[in-house]
A and B are shown apart, each in its own frame.
Chain A
């Protein structure tokens, strides 16, 4: 039996209490398997950002169980969630979130800090990751010297350099023109493997349709879960 990389069992996330209580996520169950390329789509307020925070171990559920890469992170301390996050998850954000004073290589290397990796190896692996997104020749450029598409590819390299089981992309094409967006989507699709699952969170149905599996959300619940292509 194949164990899922990500598993949500009846997960709820409630903000506030009493009259101001908001159920951002309401009893959601979901499994993301190795090799999945899933898009989570829905309008703003549908709960997809909350879902992303929980899947990425950035947040803890109010109720239910979350298992990430075989480890139950539902009710563990921040330090444990941080460890699982660093080990199993790579993030790509809409606003890239590169560290502005570091060059592309150092930005990628940041993901490998505090892991007991020697500087030489860290550099080699980071250069390889940059090469994978076609930016090895721009490794000494700082974010301001790169275009939006290039910045997002550096962010992709940073997410990939730790070899995470799960790649979480939050509106990765939201800040890009259509040409760069297509380029980034192409790289994302190419990252699918039996060792990795790619999860894409977006409000853009067109982008969502380019994934292999589409999960549609509304009002904190999953309304459909369809396989678009094998």
Chain B
């Protein structure tokens, strides 16, 4: 017991006597542990934020799309798809859209030359879409039944698109869709579960029939369905039957929140890369410890000789050097964890997330630094122990 206390004193006095060297030794494990802690902590915080967001948005939004059947290039749903979906008893609300392609959108009626290459999705949407998605409008109003029945050329635009078009709330603006003038009547809020809507233009089905498609009425190709929470999978299956019944239409359903969670999984790849870099930093730091301590053994050979002459055994000498390495690992690991936590805190504050850090992360970070430093310190420790006092003391 007293031996370990003596060893600790000697190891720390050895480190304290060479402050610059000790600081340099600390950097390797410190940076490595900090990188790992920050990577894991930040991805966990992002995931935690995502879960909170999903919980807020609700997990019960289902997207049912027309799947490509044989010979159909742009598959559609039956014209009464909304009514069919509503027959499923677990369905609470339904809205339909029709995605269009190749509609050139220009922010002003005269601005075709400047903006004709901007690819912007144009969608026919019914009056229920914001209610089903549970989003509001930044300004103006959504498309309503009167717009449909009067076949009005009106449009609602996404928030990001409004910013891009420098559209001010309440401004009288006419945009051009494939050369047809449409009056902007509202700006839709961000839809977290459907980020693409942020850049889209929404118009009534009737207007689409008049201006863009050679069909009337226009069939939808996608439904957004809110179901009773907990019946997502069941409802998805029921929707396929109810909407696809009696026709060639194939339905593919996905629960939107699951897609979002899936997207978060891709962040794991980034986490893996950063963690690997952290591991690399720790390994390089370990090599640095091994290298510097090996040189130190040569520099301190006289000290080792005199300690051996004073009766310190080979084991004690080895332990003394090993303990110096371990002390570097412990201190470097703790500093690394603190630095990593600081990085998480900064990142979380910048992104507006909630600080999430797994309980095992701090002890694991320190343990990793210690393991590496023990591995790095053992070779110089053994070399120190093998020195013959007779050779280092230069007698006579």
The interface bits of chain B over 256-280 (1 if a CB of A lies within 8 angstroms of the residue's CB, else 0) are 0000000000000000000000000
A113 near B312: Cβ-Cβ < 8 Å:
yes
Q: List B residues 288-333 near A (Cβ within 8 Å).
A: 302-303, 305-316
Say whether A128 faces chain B, with CB atoms less than 8 Å apart.
Answer: no
Q: How far is the CA of A44 from the CA of B396 in the complex (A)?
A: 8
| 8 closest A-B pairs by CB | A86-B311, A49-B396, A101-B17, A97-B306, A113-B6, A49-B395, A58-B390, A111-B310
Report chain A residues within 8 Å CB of B393. Answer: 58, 93, 97
Q: List A residues 84-101 near B (Cβ within 8 Å).
A: 85-87, 91, 93, 95, 97-101
Asked whether A52 and B309 contact (CB < 8 A) given A79-B314, A113-B6, A114-B3, the answer is no
**Chain B residue with Cβ nearest A118:** B2
A110 near B311: Cβ-Cβ < 8 Å:
no
| Residue tally, chain A, CB below 8 Å to B | 38
Report chain B residues within 8 Å CB of A114. Answer: 2-3, 6-7, 311-313, 316
Knowing that A79-B314, A102-B13 touch, tell me 13 more A-B residue pairs with CB under 8 angstroms: A58-B309, A58-B388, A79-B315, A82-B311, A85-B311, A93-B393, A97-B302, A97-B305, A99-B306, A101-B14, A114-B3, A114-B313, A116-B3
Asked whether A91 and B310 contact (CB < 8 A) given A44-B396, A114-B3, A114-B6, the answer is yes
A59 near B390: Cβ-Cβ < 8 Å:
yes
Please give the residue numbers on chain B whose beta carbons come within 8 Å of chain A beta carbons, in ascending order: 2-3, 6-7, 10, 13-14, 17-18, 302-303, 305-316, 388-390, 393-396
Q: How far is the CA of A95 from the CA of B305 in the complex (A)?
A: 13
- Give 15 pairs: A residue, B residue, CB < 8 Å, sorted on A: A78-B314, A79-B315, A83-B311, A85-B309, A85-B311, A86-B312, A93-B306, A97-B306, A102-B13, A110-B307, A110-B310, A111-B310, A113-B312, A114-B311, A162-B310
Q: List A residues 42-68 near B (Cβ within 8 Å).
A: 44, 48-49, 52-53, 56, 58-59
Report chain B residues within 8 Å CB of A82. Answer: 308, 311-314
A91 near B396: Cβ-Cβ < 8 Å:
no
Rounded to whole Å, the gap between the CB of A65 and the closest CB of chain B is 20
Say whether A150 faces chain B, with CB atoms less than 8 Å apart.
Answer: no
B309 near A91: Cβ-Cβ < 8 Å:
yes
A171 near B396: Cβ-Cβ < 8 Å:
yes
Report chain B residues within 8 Å CB of A79. Answer: 313-315
Please give the residue numbers on chain A whose beta carbons come within 8 Å of chain B beta carbons, in ascending order: 44, 48-49, 52-53, 56, 58-59, 78-79, 82-83, 85-87, 91, 93, 95, 97-102, 106, 110-111, 113-114, 116-118, 158, 162, 170-171, 201, 203
| Most central of B10, B306, B313 by chain A CB within 10 Å | B306
A53 near B310: Cβ-Cβ < 8 Å:
no
Report chain A residues within 8 Å CB of B388. Answer: 58
Report chain A residues within 8 Å CB of B394. Answer: 95
Report chain B residues within 8 Å CB of A203. Answer: 396
Report chain A residues within 8 Å CB of B395. Answer: 49, 52-53, 93, 170, 201
Q: Which of B311, B312, B315, B396 contacts A170 (CB 8 A)?
A: B396
A86 near B396: Cβ-Cβ < 8 Å:
no
A201 near B396: Cβ-Cβ < 8 Å:
yes
Report chain B residues within 8 Å CB of A78. Answer: 313-314
Rounded to whole Å, the gap between the CB of B321 and the closest CB of chain A is 14
Rounded to whole Å, the gap between the CB of B358 and the closest CB of chain A is 40
Report chain B residues within 8 Å CB of A106. Answer: 13
**Chain B residue with Cβ nearest A201:** B396
Rounded to whole Å, the gap between the CB of A164 and the closest CB of chain B is 10
**Chain A residue with Cβ nearest B10:** A113
Q: How far is the CA of A49 from the CA of B390 in the complex (A)?
A: 10
Report chain A residues within 8 Å CB of B305. Answer: 97
Report chain A residues within 8 Å CB of B6. Answer: 113-114
**Chain B residue with Cβ nearest A45:** B396
**Chain B residue with Cβ nearest A90:** B310
B311 near A52: Cβ-Cβ < 8 Å:
no
Q: How far is the CA of A98 from the CA of B390 in the complex (A)?
A: 16
Report chain B residues within 8 Å CB of A93. Answer: 306, 393, 395
Rounded to whole Å, the gap between the CB of A210 and the closest CB of chain B is 19
Q: Which of B3, B307, B313, B390 contacts A53 (CB 8 A)?
A: B390
Rounded to whole Å, the gap between the CB of B19 and the closest CB of chain A is 11
Q: How far is the CA of A102 from the CA of B314 in the complex (A)?
A: 21
| Most central of B6, B308, B313, B396 by chain A CB within 10 Å | B396
